[in-house]
């Protein structure tokens, strides 16, 4: 089927890809592109073939040719691939010869995408009367990164057998529980229970943060039934991940049930470090205590007239680095001892050293702050807590 997309942006993108500057990636930085297809399909059936890519870094655009036996297979459509959570749109797919199509893919904008997944998905239809095996080959492949440099890659084709309906038995696969689950890694396990009618079966895992998955592990070919596994790395601690085992043999792909693993959390046994403890805004009945911690933690102050304290502020359970607690209903003119207490998210507690502050003295409370003074033998002046009293002619009880 001849498909041509006449879009100026696509043509310009293709020219930029073919003429892209930059230097090829280092020899050690090699990605792998390969055909992932069912071993056999039923006559007159639809099936999908993945153009999978592994271990690519900063991928931006690519092109490749796919060829096959047109007497057995018909290419109906080429749909978007996906690397990680990023969809890889198909800019153009066009027939350039008998059983040969050129495909161009391009990541939107220019962010680049890294990881493993697929460049495109080829939607085929099997011949309704013929039987046999068709190669599905890749050639003239070229990949660019987001700096315009070539990404060195290996390109591996595959094959599909078209059989009579009576010949087809699909494989059977089972998802097993994950093992060696750590904070950022885990091992996925599966079991190929049956190969069906295929001589060899391709097995792998789909995985991701939801049951839509979005990621696949490297595929491997098995010639015998039994267990298989795949290592996951670069995971996030304390997060649930979905996964399931997949097998490609004769017939449609076999998918097992969805399973979930939850990565471990780091064992935090270190208490917060308290610093910059200070008292401020001191009045006759209150003070504000402030401090900082090197990690987010709760806030509380223990205080009293002695180092036995006896009172605590209401616990502020909000996890913060900068702490502030207001103390109220204190006694005037008294020296208070205090210390701060905080706990991090793992409940590790830290307590500061003892510190003190003195509340302000009261004003006008009768405290004698200046004695009396005779004025010409006629009276006296007494200052009591800032209030001035004049006495004359007789004794007055203060």
This prediction's pTM: 0.52
pLDDT score at 115:
84
Q: Which is more confidently placed, 3 or 290?
A: 290
In degrees and rounded to multiples of 5, residue 145 shows phi and psi of -95, 180
pLDDT score at 374:
43
Asked if the model's pLDDT at residue 387 lies above 90, the reply is no
Q: How far apart are CA 1 and CA 64, in angstroms?
A: 17
pLDDT score at 82:
84
Q: Average pLDDT over the chain, rounded to whole? A: 85
Q: How far apart are CA 131 and CA 129, in angstroms?
A: 7
Contacting residues for 14 by C-beta, under 8 A, at least 6 apart: 63, 91, 92, 104
Q: Is 8 helix (H, G, I), strand (E, B) or coil?
A: helix
pLDDT score at 364:
59
Q: Which two tokens stand for residue 225?
A: 């039934």
pLDDT score at 333:
95
pLDDT score at 2:
37
Q: Which two tokens stand for residue 322?
A: 């900068």
Half-sphere exposure of 197 (CA within 13 A, CB side): 18
CB-based contact 103:50 (threshold 8 Å) = no
Q: Rounded mean pLDDT of 199-213?
A: 94
Asked if the model's pLDDT at residue 263 lies above 80, the reply is yes
> In Å, how far are 10, 21, 168, 287, 295 from 105, measured between CA atoms?
9, 18, 34, 66, 45
Q: How far apart are CA 229 and CA 245, in angstroms?
A: 9
Q: How far apart are CA 90 and CA 392, in angstroms?
A: 106
For the chain, the residue count is 398
Q: How far apart are CA 245 and CA 262, in angstroms?
A: 17
- pLDDT per residue over 324-373, tens digit each? 999 999 999 999 999 999 999 889 999 999 999 999 998 755 444 444 44
Q: Rounded mean pLDDT of 201-205?
A: 95
Q: How far apart are CA 54 and CA 34, in angstroms?
A: 9
Q: Which two tokens stand for residue 92?
A: 């153009």
DSSP 8-class letter at 393: S
Q: Rounded mean pLDDT of 60-67?
A: 97
pLDDT score at 165:
75
Q: Rounded mean pLDDT of 253-279?
A: 92
Q: Is 12 helix (H, G, I), strand (E, B) or coil?
A: helix
All structural domains of the chain: 8-167 (2.60.40.680), 172-262 (2.60.40.10), 274-358 (2.60.40.10), 366-398 (no CATH)
CB-based contact 168:252 (threshold 8 Å) = no
pLDDT score at 365:
52
Mode of pairing for the β-strands spanning 274-280 and 287-304: antiparallel
- pLDDT per residue over 99-157, tens digit each? 999 999 999 876 788 888 889 999 999 999 889 999 999 999 999 999 889 999 999 99
pLDDT score at 396:
42
Token pair 């607690």 is found at 325
Q: How far apart are CA 81 and CA 279, in angstroms?
A: 61
pLDDT score at 74:
96
């Amino acid at each position: 089927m001849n498909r041509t997309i006449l879009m100026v942006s696509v043509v310009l993108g293709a020219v930029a890809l073919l003429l892209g500057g930059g230097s090829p990636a280092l020899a050690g930085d090699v990605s792998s592109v390969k055909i992932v297809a069912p071993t056999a399909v039923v006559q007159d059936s639809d099936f999908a073939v993945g153009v999978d890519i592994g271990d690519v870094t900063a991928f931006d655009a690519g092109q490749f040719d796919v060829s096959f036996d047109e007497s057995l297979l018909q290419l109906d459509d080429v749909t978007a691939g996906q690397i990680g959570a990023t969809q890889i749109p198909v800019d153009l797919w066009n027939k350039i010869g008998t059983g040969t199509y050129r495909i161009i893919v391009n990541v939107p904008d220019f962010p680049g995408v890294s990881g493993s997944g697929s460049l495109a998905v080829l939607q085929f239809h099997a011949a309704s009367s013929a039987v046999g095996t068709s190669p599905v080959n890749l050639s003239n492949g070229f990949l660019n990164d987001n700096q315009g440099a070539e990404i060195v890659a290996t390109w591996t084709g595959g094959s599909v057998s078209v059989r009579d309906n009576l010949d087809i038995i699909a494989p059977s696969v089972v998802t097993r529980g994950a093992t060696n689950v750590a904070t950022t890694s885990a091992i996925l396990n599966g079991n190929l229970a049956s190969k069906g009618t295929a001589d060899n079966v391709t097995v792998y895992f789909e995985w991701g943060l939801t049951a839509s998955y979005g990621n696949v592990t490297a595929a491997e070919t098995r010639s015998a039934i039994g267990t298989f596994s795949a290592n996951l790395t670069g995971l996030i601690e304390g997060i649930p991940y979905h996964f399931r085992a997949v097998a490609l043999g004769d017939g449609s792909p076999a998918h097992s049930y969805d399973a979930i693993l939850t990565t471990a959390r780091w064992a935090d046994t270190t208490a917060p470090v308290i610093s910059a403890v200070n008292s401020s805004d001191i009045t006759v009945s209150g003070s504000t205590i402030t401090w900082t911690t090197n990690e987010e933690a709760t806030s509380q102050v223990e205080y009293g007239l002695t180092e036995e304290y006896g009172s605590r502020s209401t616990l502020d359970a909000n996890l913060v680095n900068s702490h502030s607690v207001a103390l109220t209903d204190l006694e005037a003119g008294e020296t208070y001892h205090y210390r701060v207490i905080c706990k991090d998210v793992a409940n590790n507690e830290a307590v500061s050293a003892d510190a003190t502050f003195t509340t302000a003295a009261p004003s006008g409370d009768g405290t004698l702050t200046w004695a009396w003074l005779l004025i010409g033998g006629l009276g006296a002046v007494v200052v009591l807590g800032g209030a001035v009293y004049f006495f004359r002619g007789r004794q007055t009880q203060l």
